[in-house]
C-alpha cells in the first residue's frame, strides 16, 4: 500500500476503534484488557495472552458520569468512564487502572462499583523513583500484577513469554521512533496530525497487526520522503498529559509548525525508550518505568521535569513550547509555573492551552495556535 492508503487505514481505525476491537475479538476469540493512560506494563498483559487496550476518552456522553463523579474531575477520566457507562467498552474483559493521580486513584472503586468486569486491577506504581526502595517495590508490584493476570488466565506466565512480548513492543516503539524521525526531517511527508494518530493507534491496536502496517508505512515513507522540508517549519515542543483534541495538530500543520518532541503520555514519551531484553524481564520492566521521561505524576530529583523539557527543547532546537493542559488536571497545573519559568529563562516563548474532552472550542483553539505560531515563526 502507498503512504496515503496506510495513513487512511490508521485514521479510520482510530475513528472507528470500537468496531475494530469487536471485530478483532470475534475473529481471534481473544480477551481484551483495557487500561487508563498510560503507564501500565502492556508487555505483561500481552505476555498473558491478552490484548491491552488503551482507553483514550471520548467527546460524548459525559452527562452520564454526573451521577458518579463530580464535573470538576478531569475530562479524560470522566469521558473514559462515560464510554463504559454508555456500553461502548462492553468488549472489555478487564481493566487496569494505573494510579498516577487522585482521580485515577479514586475512580477505580467507583468504576468497579458501577461497571464491574471479570478482571479489575490497579497498577500501584511508586510515586518516587529516586531511591532504591522504589525499584524493589516496583518489582514486587509487577510480580503481584503478574500473579493476578495468571489467576485470570489460569496458568503461569513464563519469563520467556514476557521476554517475547517485550521484544514485540520494542520493535513497535522502534518503528514509531523511525516514523517520528522521518516526520522531524520531512513534516510534509507525515504531518503532526498523522504522526500522533499513529501513536494513538498503538494504544488501541494489537501489536502484531500494528507492526505489520507500520513496517509497510516506514518503507513507503522512506521512498516518498527523500527530500527534507524541515528547514521551512517552526519547531515546537508540546508538554502536557495527552494530545486533546487531535485537531490542535491540524492547526499546527496549517500554520507551518513541526512538533519535534513532547512529554505526552500518548506522544513521544510513549515510544522514546525500549525495555531491556536481557536479564530478568520484570526487573527490566521496572527499570523502564523508573527511567521514563518525567511526567506530572511526580517530579524526580535525578531528572526534574523542567530540566528535561529545557534539555529537550535545546537538543531539538525548538522555537516554541505549547503547554497543552486538560482542565482540572491538578498535577499538570502544579508544574506549570516552574516549567514555564524555565523556558522564560532561556527565552523560548510558551503558550498554555486548556482543553477538555468534548468541551473545547475549536475556533478559539485555532486562533490561539495561529497567533502563537505567527509570533514564534517571526523569530526565526
- Residues lying near another protein in the complex (CB under 8 A): 67-70, 72-73, 99, 101-103, 105-110, 112-114, 122, 124, 126-128, 131-134, 136-137, 140-141, 144, 296-299, 301, 327-328, 330-331, 333-338, 340, 352
Task: Please identify, using beta-carbon distances, which residue of 143 and 181 lies nearer to another protein.
Answer: 143
**DSSP states of 42-84 as a string?**
HHHHHHTT-EEEEE---SS-GGGGGGTS-TTS-HHHHHHHHHH
Q: Which three cell numbers stand for residue 107?
A: 475512580
Q: Which three cell numbers stand for residue 295?
A: 511526567
Q: By CB neighbour count within 10 A (0-12 exposed, 13-18 middle, 19+ buried), where does 274 fall?
A: middle
254 Ramachandran zone, left/alpha/beta (phi>0; psi -120 to 50): alpha
Q: Closest approach of Cβ 129 to another protein, in Å? A: 10
Per the CB < 8 A criterion, the answer to whether 194 and 224 are in contact is no
Q: How far is CA 190 from the centre of its chain?
A: 19
d(CA 376, CA 364): 18
Task: Please identify, using beta-carbon distances, which residue of 22 and 150 lies nearer to another protein.
Answer: 150
Strands 234-240 and 119-123, by their bridges, are unpaired
Q: Closest approach of Cβ 131 to another protein, in Å? A: 5
Q: What is the DSSP letter of 378?
A: T
Element (H, E) at 196: helix 192-204
Q: Closest approach of Cβ 300 to another protein, in Å? A: 10
| Residue 92 main-chain phi, psi, to 5 deg | -75, 140
Task: Please identify, using beta-carbon distances, which residue of 217 and 238 lies nearer to another protein.
Answer: 238
Q: Closest approach of Cβ 238 to another protein, in Å? A: 17
Task: Please identify, using beta-carbon distances, which residue of 139 and 218 lies nearer to another protein.
Answer: 139
Q: Closest approach of Cβ 288 to another protein, in Å? A: 19
Q: Closest approach of Cβ 108 to another protein, in Å? A: 7
Q: Closest approach of Cβ 345 to another protein, in Å? A: 13
Task: Please identify, using beta-carbon distances, which residue of 152 and 298 lies nearer to another protein.
Answer: 298
Q: Which three cell numbers stand for residue 190?
A: 507525515
d(CA 202, CA 173): 9
What are the residues whose beta carbons fall under 8 Å from the beta carbon of 168, sequence distance 6 or more? Answer: 43, 46, 207, 208, 211
d(CA 234, CA 231): 8
Task: Please identify, using beta-carbon distances, which residue of 250 and 354 lies nearer to another protein.
Answer: 354
Task: Please identify, using beta-carbon distances, which residue of 106 and 209 lies nearer to another protein.
Answer: 106
Task: Please identify, using beta-carbon distances, which residue of 21 and 119 lies nearer to another protein.
Answer: 119
Task: Please identify, using beta-carbon distances, which residue of 133 and 151 lies nearer to another protein.
Answer: 133
What are the residues whose beta carbons fall under 8 Å from the beta carbon of 317, sequence distance 6 or more? Answer: 235, 260
Q: Which three cell numbers stand for residue 257?
A: 509548525
Q: Closest approach of Cβ 124 to another protein, in Å? A: 4
Amino acid at each position: 500500500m502507498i503512504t496515503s492508503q496506510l495513513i487512511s487505514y490508521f485514521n479510520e481505525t482510530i475513528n472507528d476503534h470500537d468496531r475494530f476491537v469487536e471485530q478483532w475479538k470475534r475473529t481471534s476469540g481473544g480477551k481484551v484488557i483495557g487500561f487508563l493512560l498510560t503507564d501500565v506494563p502492556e508487555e505483561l498483559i500481552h505476555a498473558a495472552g491478552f490484548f491491552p487496550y488503551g482507553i483514550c476518552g471520548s467527546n460524548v456522553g459525559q452527562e452520564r458520569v454526573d451521577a458518579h463523579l463530580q464535573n470538576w474531575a478531569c475530562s479524560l477520566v470522566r469521558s473514559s468512564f462515560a464510554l463504559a457507562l454508555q456500553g461502548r467498552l462492553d468488549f472489555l474483559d478487564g481493566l487496569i487502572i494505573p494510579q498516577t493521580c487522585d482521580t485515577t486513584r479514586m475512580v477505580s472503586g467507583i468504576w468497579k462499583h458501577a461497571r464491574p468486569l471479570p478482571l479489575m486491577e490497579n497498577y500501584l506504581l511508586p510515586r518516587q523513583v529516586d531511591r532504591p526502595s522504589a525499584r524493589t517495590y516496583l518489582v514486587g508490584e509487577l510480580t503481584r500484577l503478574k500473579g493476578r493476570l495468571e489467576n485470570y488466565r489460569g496458568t503461569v506466565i513464563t519469563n520467556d513469554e514476557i521476554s517475547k512480548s517485550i521484544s514485540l513492543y520494542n520493535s513497535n516503539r522502534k518503528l514509531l521512533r523511525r516514523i517520528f524521525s522521518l516526520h522531524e526531517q520531512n513534516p510534509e511527508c507525515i504531518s503532526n496530525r498523522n504522526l500522533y494518530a499513529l501513536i494513538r493507534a498503538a494504544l488501541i491496536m494489537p501489536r502484531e497487526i500494528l507492526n505489520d502496517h507500520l513496517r509497510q508505512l516506514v518503507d513507503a515513507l522512506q521512498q516518498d520522503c527523500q527530500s527534507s522540508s524541515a528547514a521551512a517549519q517552526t519547531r515546537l515542543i508540546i508538554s502536557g498529559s495527552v494530545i486533546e483534541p487531535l485537531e490542535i495538530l491540524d492547526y499546527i500543520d496549517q500554520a507551518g509548525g513541526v512538533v519535534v518532541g513532547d512529554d505526552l503520555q500518548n506522544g513521544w514519551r510513549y515510544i522514546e525508550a525500549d525495555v531491556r531484553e536481557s536479564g530478568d524481564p520484570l526487573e527490566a520492566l521496572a527499570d523502564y518505568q523508573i527511567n521514563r521521561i518525567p511526567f506530572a505524576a511526580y517530579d524526580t530529583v535525578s531528572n526534574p521535569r523542567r530540566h528535561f523539557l529545557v534539555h529537550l527543547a535545546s537538543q531539538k532546537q525548538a522555537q516554541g513550547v505549547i503547554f497543552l493542559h486538560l482542565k482540572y488536571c491538578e498535577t499538570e497545573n502544579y508544574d506549570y509555573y516552574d516549567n514555564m519559568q524555565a523556558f522564560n529563562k532561556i527565552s523560548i516563548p510558551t503558550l498554555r492551552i486548556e482543553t477538555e474532552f468534548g468541551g473545547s472550542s475549536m475556533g478559539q483553539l485555532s486562533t490561539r495556535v495561529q497567533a502563537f505560531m505567527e509570533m514564534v515563526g517571526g523569530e526565526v
